[in-house]
Amino acid sequence: MGKRWIPLEANPDVMNQFIWGLGVTEGEAQFCDVYGLDDELLAMVPQPVLAVIFLYPLTSLDEKVEEYDASATSTAGGKVRLCLFCLLFVPP
């Protein structure tokens, strides 16, 4: 049976539902938006931070690299458009 990819949008609510569906408890970890890297904006991010997922728009150069990588390996590549970034944090 082939592997199934579940498309996810760059939305903390969607990502939270996904990880909670995998068995992570709601009090254990969750995603949130980061609106900027200024001190005031970072102060709004719940602590502690476990990881950062940085999502950005793809350029034509990124697409060329993706096409090259897909042709250089036997892996079939799909295109994923990402434009936000989120933080995953673990409450104390």
pLDDT tens-digit readout, 15-28: 899 889 989 998 88
Model pLDDT for residues 31-79, shown as the tens digit of each residue: 999 988 899 999 999 888 888 888 777 778 877 877 776 665 545 454 4
Structural domain that includes position 31: 12-89
Could you tell me the CA-to-CA distances from 31 to 10, 27, 64 in Å, in that order? 10, 11, 31
In a domain, 34, yes or no: yes
In a domain, 17, yes or no: yes
In a domain, 2, yes or no: no
Tokens at residue 58, please? 């793809």
In a domain, 26, yes or no: yes
In a domain, 5, yes or no: no
How many CB atoms neighbour CB 9 within 10 A? 11
The per-residue pLDDT for 66 is 73
User: How many structural domains comprise the chain?
Assistant: 1
The per-residue pLDDT for 92 is 53
In a domain, 1, yes or no: no
Of residues 47 and 89, more confidence is placed in: 47
